[in-house]
Amino acid sequence: MGVFTFVLRNSGGEWTAKQHSGDIEASADSTFDLQRKLVQAALAVDSSGGVQSSFSYVSPSSAVFQVIVGGAVFVGGGGAVAAAPAGGAAPAGDAAPAAEKKEEKVEEESDDDMGLGLFD
């Protein structure tokens, strides 16, 4: 799993990025294009699995961008959650069995139970 953190700055209409602890640098006309370039650069260094990213402005002319490659992928459903290996999504046979659904009968309360009505 690789975590890549970048500091982005806008100067003269061009966005530039430098990796916080590393050598990756890139520039582009928009933050969107710069983010795409940075994800590709991170994948060139570490392509061990899925990609997550987070972008946050610090000021109108600076931002922080983080790319996470690999790690756990969570598959949710009905209360069962299975973590996949760093290599990608887990095959269906490896997923934890879903918890048995117990039918619970929910009794609806009526106005008559409290002796009060909504429009009294």
pLDDT above 90 covers a percentage of the chain that reads: 49
- pLDDT tens string 10-52: 999 999 999 988 899 999 999 999 999 999 999 999 888 889 9
What is the pTM (predicted TM-score) of this model? 0.58
Greater pLDDT, 79 or 14: 14
The confidence band for 71, taking pLDDT boundaries of 50, 70 and 90, is confident
Residue 34 pLDDT: 95
Q: Which amino acid is at 5?
A: T
| Residue 8 neighbours by CB under 8 Å, 6+ apart | 15, 16, 17, 31, 34, 62, 63, 64, 65
